[in-house]
Amino acid sequence: MAEITVKPDQALERILTLELVRVTERAAVASAALRGRGDEKAADKAAVDAMRRELNRLPIAGRIVIGEGERDEAPMLFIGEELGTGKGPAVDIAVDPLEGTTLCAKNMPGSIAVMAMAEGGTMLYAPDVYMDKIAIGPGYAQGTIDIDASPADNIHSLAKAKGVKPHEITALILDRPRHAAIIEAVRKTGASVQLILDGDVAGVIDTTNPDETGVDIYLGTGGAPEGVLAAAALRCIGGQMFTRLILDTEEKRERANKMGVSDPKKIYTIHDMVQGDCLFAATGVTTGNLLKGVKYRGEVVETQTVVMRSASGTVRWISAEHRDLSKFHLG
C-alpha cells in the first residue's frame, strides 16, 4: 500500500479529517468481530494490532504517552513506543484501542476504540494508578464544579448554573463498591445516577452532549491514563475537568515521580493534562449513549466516529460504510 505523504503544516488537519478516523475505525471493527465471545484478551489484542498497524502508516514522528502499559508489560503500543513513518510532526499519542474490554466481551453497551494526539511534549505522562475525577461539558462558568467539594455541593452548583432543579441533573458514575458513598450523596439531592460497568473515557465524553446522552456530570475515581484521554476530548470543545492522582503507597509515589509527577497532591485541569493543539477520535464498538456500534450488513461494515480538534473546536460525526473489507485484516 502506498505511503501517505502530506506537507508538515497540513499534517494535523489532514489527520483530523481522515487518517485519525481510520485508526479508530480499524481498531473498532477488529474488536467488534469478537463481541460477545467472552474473550477480553482476544478482543483487546485484535484492537491493538489493528490500531498499531494503522498508526505506523501515518506521516508523524509519534511517541506513545498513554498506552497499553510499560514496555515489559505490553509488547505493542507500550509507553515510549515510537510510531509513524517519521516523516512529519513530532506528536504525543494516547490510546485505548478497546476501552471497555468487558463490555465488548459481553456485547454490552458503551465500548469504544479511542485515541488522542497532541503536539510533542504537551501531554501528561500519567502513571497507571487511580485518579479522582469530576467533569462537565461546555457552557458553564469556571468554578461551577470543585473536586474538593462534596458530591451534593457539586450537584446543587451545577443545577443552579444550568437553571434547573437538582432532580433534573443526572450524574454518571462507575458501578464500583468504592463509589457507594458518592452514589448515596448524589441521590439524596434528588439527582439521578446512571451507573456504568466500565468505560470511563466514554463516560466523561457523555457530559459533552447532555441533550443527547442525558448525562450532566461525571463523578468518581477511575484510571489516570483514561483521564488524560477524556481530557483531550474536553480540551477540544471547552468542557471542564479536574483530577487528582491517588498515590496512596510509596511505590506509586515513586513510580509517579519517575514519570515527572513532583507534587502528589496536585489538582490537574484539562490544560495541565493536554496542552497545545490536540486531536481526539473515538469509534463505537458496541452502541452506547454517544456512538453507534459497528454493524455488519452483508458485504458492508458500518461505523460511527466522532473526531475533534482543539485549535478550531470542530467536532465531526462520521458515519461510514466500508465495502473494501480487506483493509480490516479480519482473516
pLDDT at 287: 96
Dist CA 329 CA 230 (whole Å): 29
How much is the pTM?
0.90
Q: Is 255 annotated as a binding residue?
A: no
Pairing status of strand 300-309 against strand 90-99? unpaired
Q: Is 199 annotated as a binding residue?
A: yes
Q: Is 223 annotated as a binding residue?
A: yes
Q: How far is CA 320 from CA 22, 29, 35, 169, in A?
A: 10, 12, 20, 33
Q: Is 268 annotated as a binding residue?
A: no
- pLDDT band, residue 295 (cuts 50/70/90): very high
- pLDDT band, residue 15 (cuts 50/70/90): low
Q: Is 200 annotated as a binding residue?
A: yes
146-171 tens-digit pLDDT: 999 999 999 999 999 999 999 999 99
Q: Is 153 annotated as a binding residue?
A: no
Q: Is 88 annotated as a binding residue?
A: no
Among the ranges given (10-14, 27-31, 178-182), the one the predictor scored with the smallest mean pLDDT: 10-14
Dist CA 58 CA 11 (whole Å): 9
Q: Is 8 annotated as a binding residue?
A: no
Q: Is 96 annotated as a binding residue?
A: yes
User: Residue 277 corresponds to which amino acid?
Assistant: D
Q: Is 99 annotated as a binding residue?
A: yes
Q: Is 130 annotated as a binding residue?
A: yes
With 0-12 / 13-18 / 19 or more C-beta atoms within 10 angstroms meaning exposed / middle / buried, residue 209 is middle
Dist CA 195 CA 199 (whole Å): 11
User: Residue 300 corresponds to which amino acid?
Assistant: V
47-96 tens-digit pLDDT: 999 999 999 999 899 999 999 876 656 678 988 999 999 988 899 999 99
188-243 tens-digit pLDDT: 999 999 999 888 898 898 998 899 899 999 999 999 999 999 999 999 888 999 99
Q: Is 119 annotated as a binding residue?
A: no
Q: Is 178 annotated as a binding residue?
A: yes
